Amino acid sequence: MFSSRLRAMYRGGRGNTTARRYARFWAAVYGAGLSTRRWITLEVPGRRTGRITRFPLGMADWQGEWYLVPMLGGDCNWVRNVRAADGRAAIRHGRARPCRLVELPVTERPVILKRFLRQIPGGRPHIPVDRHAPLSEFATIADHYPVFRVEYDTTP
């Protein structure tokens, strides 16, 4: 029941009015650093306007690296903006840290997709594989769900 209502808020790959209100609220909460390190606000220039857009996201960690996965697949707004910005963005969690988001090849995505579903419950209703499924099932959807490794800018 809850899962179907959550999916309905994103019919057609875009959030409805309720989803957008929740997104603004959570972007403020995560951006202020009022949550664990995993929950962040992604700031990226809009591909048409150039204005900074903010997206509340959960990051998955794997082998000392952090990753972002779009629960709605590769055609969602933040992914299109990141690609248009050549991966340049900022991660806000209390303060903004410039970063580059590097898209992984399809063959490297399954393990991160599985990790994402284990760590980010909000993605489960949207990604059509059970979090306990074998990696081979994640491989079948990997081309529809990009994975981005977060590389923080270390220059002063």
Q: What is the pTM of this model?
A: 0.86
Span 42-86, pLDDT tens digits: 999 999 999 999 999 999 999 999 999 999 999 999 999 999 999
Span 78-115, pLDDT tens digits: 999 999 999 999 999 999 999 999 999 999 999 999 99
110: tokens are: 């399954």
pLDDT of residue 156: 57
CATH number of 2-152, picked from 2.60.40.10, 3.30.70.20, 2.30.110.10, 3.20.20.70: 2.30.110.10
